[in-house]
Structure 1
Amino acid sequence: MSKLVVTESERLEKEAFYNKVIPAGKGWMHDIKPNQTLRIVDLEGNQAVDTTFFNSNNPKDHYSATMTISAQRNIYLTTGTVLRSESGQPLLKITADTCGRHDTLGGACSPQSNTVRYAHEKIHMHACRDTFMYLIAQYQGSYAYSKRDLAPNINFFMNVPVTPEGALDFADGISAPGRYVEMTAVTNTTALISNCPQLNNPCNAYNPTPIRILIWDN
């Protein structure tokens, strides 16, 4: 397992031009311009923040876990990671991270995965894929997003080690109240976030919590 990399930011919250709290179970979709910096804050600790990105100039060129992992030769995301699209183009770079590790293998929870991981009767429970679908349906822009545009995402603040056998272990979180990840956009980028509503996974103590979103102009 890779060593945790913790890097603090010099940016001040009061200087951010955008500051919004996203309640547990809700989502957020927003365009970020080149050189703008996005910070996601885990307000109460160990909250999973399912996130994906799109090249705003070509939304079909969405975030790619495969390109990101292969380019950096590391399955974990932290300071210095360049988040890449399907074409290999850099979308954003993680410039500060006080959690130290983030997952991009576990994917987003869905009604279907809830039945596989937990129980068939959980299928009715709200899931991140539902939030993604709702947000892209409401998005007002020149591109009509659909479920075909959803691909493997990032789970910020989630600790998902890979076992020696190659399995995923959804382990206890390593985040804490107030920890954050900060990334600077390389190109025009659209961010899509589901602040996970998952009530079945012990890694968040069965208690989804809010996050804070901040954006600065550099």
Structure 2
Amino acid sequence: MTNPDILYQDTLPGGCHWSLQMRRGQLLRLVDTDGGANLGMLLYNPYALLERINLPDTLKCQHTFRLGKGHCIYSDMGRVFCSIVEDTAGWHDAVCGAASRDLVERRWGRLAYQQARNDMRRNGLDGFLVELAKHGLGRKDLAANLNLFSKVVADDSGALRYVEGASRPGSFVDLRFEMDSLVVMSAAPHPLNPAVEYPARPVRYEIREAPPMVHPDVCCDARPENQRGFANNRLYQLSIGGVR
């Protein structure tokens, strides 16, 4: 039965990549259907592509190492791209970046399209570059990416460790978009994933209308810094006439 709340839905196969534009006031639900997925994500302002996701500022202004419900994802202009308003996975990595072609080949071996067709072993970095090229962007436009559904912890010495099985089948995260955003996604494996076999896990995405914000809001009112980020958004919407 079709869910009338879902405006559009599709599944991104494990290892694959895609991009789409989300509108302010829409909600993007991402579902780890099988468990153990990794969804790398980059965000850009579609009307001013030099504005992009800034994870160092995102973590610093919210005094956190990981992202989850109640956190906002910031641009490098101090504005809020989107807010994590619901989250059953509970921990999303924001420090490890994307796997390269060399890393994937060293860890899991090389399977090219000529050998394996759609089961080729893709990597996150190349996936991002393919999607960015569709929008006139390239390697110089890469930023540190978010890794949804991946949990990475640090020990007392600062060494990072990937936590296997942290995201269970059916885990989901809801991103409420606070400004129009170009969303670039890659379902390639996390760079620290120690799996023996190439871990291709699908992610379903659903576009919905977000419920109106009601204060106190789980994200906007979580910290004074977030309230200032939303104030920056309001000023920006006024500057573009509030039509986008």
Bigger mean CA deviation after superposition, 190-199 or 31-40:
190-199
- The one-letter amino acid of 2:126's match is D
Higher Rg of the two aligned structures? 2
Bigger mean CA deviation after superposition, 26-35 or 191-200:
191-200
Q: Distance in 2 between matches of 1:174 and 1:138?
A: 33
Aligned-pair CA distance for 1:203: 5.2
| Structure 1: 5+ residue stretches without partners | 1-11
CA-to-partner distance for each residue in 1:92-146, whole Å, 9 max, x for gaps? 000000000100101000124447x748x6697531111111112234xxxx211
Aligned-pair CA distance for 1:167: 1.9
SS at match of 2:166: coil
Which of 168, 171, 191 lines up with 1:179 in the alignment?
A: 171
Q: Distance in 2 between matches of 1:199 and 1:58?
A: 30
Q: Distance in 1 between matches of 2:3 and 2:153?
A: 31
2:183 is the alignment partner of 1:191: yes
Q: Distance in 2 between matches of 1:185 and 1:200?
A: 29
Partner in structure 1 of residue 66 of structure 2: 76
* 8 A contact 2:87–2:173 mirrored in 1: yes
CA-to-partner distance for each residue in 1:174-204, whole Å, 9 max, x for gaps? 1111111111111111110001156993359
Which of 43, 49, 61 lines up with 2:51 in the alignment?
A: 61
Partner in structure 1 of residue 235 of structure 2: none
Partner in structure 2 of residue 111 of structure 1: 101
- The one-letter amino acid of 1:168's match is L
CA-to-partner distance for each residue in 1:5-36, whole Å, 9 max, x for gaps? xxxxxxx9541101011111111100011110
Q: Distance in 1 between matches of 2:24 and 2:183?
A: 13
CA-to-partner distance for each residue in 1:11-69, whole Å, 9 max, x for gaps? x9541101011111111100011110001100100111111111222221111110100
How many aligned residue pairs are there? 201
Q: Distance in 1 between matches of 2:71 and 2:93?
A: 12
TM norm structure 1: 0.84
The ranges of structure 1 where at least 4 consecutive aligned residues each deviate by more than 6 angstroms after the TM superposition are none
Which of 106, 121, 126 lines up with 1:130 in the alignment?
A: 126
Which of 60, 65, 76 lines up with 1:86 in the alignment?
A: 76
SS at match of 1:44: coil
Aligned-pair CA distance for 1:171: 2.2
Q: Distance in 1 between matches of 2:165 and 2:10?
A: 24
Partner in structure 2 of residue 40 of structure 1: 30
TM norm structure 2: 0.75
Q: Distance in 1 between matches of 2:65 and 2:4?
A: 34
* 8 A contact 1:114–1:123 mirrored in 2: no
Q: Distance in 2 between matches of 1:35 and 1:178?
A: 24
Partner in structure 2 of residue 9 of structure 1: none
Partner in structure 2 of residue 211 of structure 1: 203
Taking only the aligned residue pairs, the percentage that are identical comes to 26
* 8 A contact 2:14–2:202 mirrored in 1: yes
- The one-letter amino acid of 1:138's match is K
Q: Distance in 1 between matches of 2:33 and 2:56?
A: 29
Question: In 2 relative to 1, CA 55–204 (structure 1 residues): closer, same or farther, beyond 3 Å?
Answer: farther
* 8 A contact 1:29–1:192 mirrored in 2: yes
- The one-letter amino acid of 1:82's match is C
Bigger mean CA deviation after superposition, 125-134 or 178-187:
125-134
* 8 A contact 2:99–2:191 mirrored in 1: no
- Computed over aligned residues only, the root mean square deviation of the Cα atoms, in angstroms, reads 2.5
